[in-house]
Structure 1
Amino acid sequence: MPGYSAPPETMAAGARTVLTLVGLLREGVAADVLTVEHPGEPPLSDGMTRNAEVLAAGLLAGIPLPAVARMLVVWTQLHGMVGFEVNGHVAGVAADPDAFFAHAAAVMGEFAGLPR
């Protein structure tokens, strides 16, 4: 929403999701199990490289750029899924919403480069 500024108390709660994702990626790097390259994946565009570089220069330092870019996608997908679930939209298209959410989370984890 134009002009919206989240209250500080909600920002800390909202940050937990991304901090958890970053922690998982860091664990994957440390354990040498993070898949960085995905065969057949198109290279990052100049714009997406810039997006990843900005994040890799701060909170995501030490994480390879392709994984940073994928993490950004995973983070937005996860928030979208939660929004769908909270508003009852998943139940309208999935006979078993819990199975759908578990499957989607596993697929997003693999997309980010994490082992199952």
Structure 2
Amino acid sequence: MAAEPVHRGRKPVISREQVLDAAAATLAAGGVDAVSLRAIARELGVVSSALYRHYPSRDALLADLAGRSCAALGDHVERAESSMAPSDFSGRLRSIVRGARDWAHENPREFALIYAAPFAHGVAAVPTGPRARVCVLLIGVLMDAAEAGHPLPSPPATRGNTTEFRVLVRGVGPRHPTASITAAAVEAWSQIFGHLGFEMFGHYDGIIADVDAYTDALTLVLTQRLGLAP
């Protein structure tokens, strides 16, 4: 159903938030290909030129949509992780994996916007903070586990140059993770979302019948490799 027209006389009065809300609804209903300035203008009952003061291009609009989707994913996973006891490191890791997977299944088109073709959809324009919130959560779990005496393994990535990972440390707070912990979190982050991408984009079809069980198995392997098992 089209939104109520937002005209006052001949001058369309629309806010950036209204444009973004309409774009988010269009994305959820029809996917990335359905999102265009013309389609959003039609939904809002205005001419497409009325949107240009907020978004000069479709790419700019998609970048904001990607940022909103990253924030929603981060919020959902943070809530899941915070529901576990701080000392339950394996449970916190499981909750991160399950929270991310649940959000992906509940919001498949938003997930595709972020992960199917990120550079084409403006994700590169989203600040690192919103994009990396799940990784920052993983860093926090590993830091807490290390402080509790868990012997964390040194991931292969630490043998290379991890300078580029330092930007992630800004989201951790006053504590400073070691290069090894940060690299281990990045490795886990990429594996979790690589797995989710395979599932969401059909790469397991005809290969893995029970993806639920496979997810649990992968999470257990990751838990053990990171030294988080009780």
One-letter identity of the residue aligned with 2:69? T
Matching of residue 69 in structure 1 with residue 214 in structure 2:
no
Count the aligned residue pairs: 109
User: How large is the Cα RMSD of the aligned pairs?
Assistant: 2.7
Contact 1:67 1:113 in 2 (8 A): no
What does the per-residue CA deviation read over 1:60-96, in whole Å, with 9 as the maximum and x for residues that have no partner?
4432211211210111111121122223322422233
Task: Give me the whole-angstrom Cα distance separating, in 2, the residues matched to 1:12 and 1:51.
Answer: 22
One-letter identity of the residue aligned with 1:105? T
Contact 1:67 1:112 in 2 (8 A): no
Task: Give me the whole-angstrom Cα distance separating, in 2, the residues matched to 1:42 and 1:28.
Answer: 20
Partner of 2:91: none
Structure 1 unaligned residues grouped into runs of 5+:
none
Q: Are the structure 2 counterparts of residues 29 and 42 from structure 1 closer, same or farther at C-alpha, using a change threshold of 3 Å?
A: closer
Partner of 1:93: 207
- The 5 A counterparts of 1:1-116 are 5-7=63-65, 8-15=67-74, 16=77, 17-37=134-154, 44-45=159-160, 47=161, 49-56=162-169, 58-60=170-172, 61-115=175-229
- RCO (CA 8 Å, sep 6+): is it higher in 1 or 2? 1
One-letter identity of the residue aligned with 1:31? A
Q: Are the structure 2 counterparts of residues 9 and 42 from structure 1 closer, same or farther at C-alpha, using a change threshold of 3 Å?
A: closer
Query: Identity of aligned pairs, percent?
Result: 24
Contact 1:91 1:97 in 2 (8 A): no
Contact 1:25 1:34 in 2 (8 A): no
Scaled by the length of structure 1, what TM-score is found?
0.69
Q: CA deviation at 1:6?
A: 4.5
Structure 2 unaligned residues grouped into runs of 5+:
1-58, 78-133
Q: Are the structure 2 counterparts of residues 111 and 6 from structure 1 closer, same or farther at C-alpha, using a change threshold of 3 Å?
A: farther
Task: Give me the whole-angstrom Cα distance separating, in 1, the residues matched to 2:64 and 2:151.
Answer: 33
Task: Give me the whole-angstrom Cα distance separating, in 1, the residues matched to 2:163 and 2:184.
Answer: 14
What does the per-residue CA deviation read over 1:24-47, in whole Å, with 9 as the maximum and x for residues that have no partner?
223212322151436xx58521x2
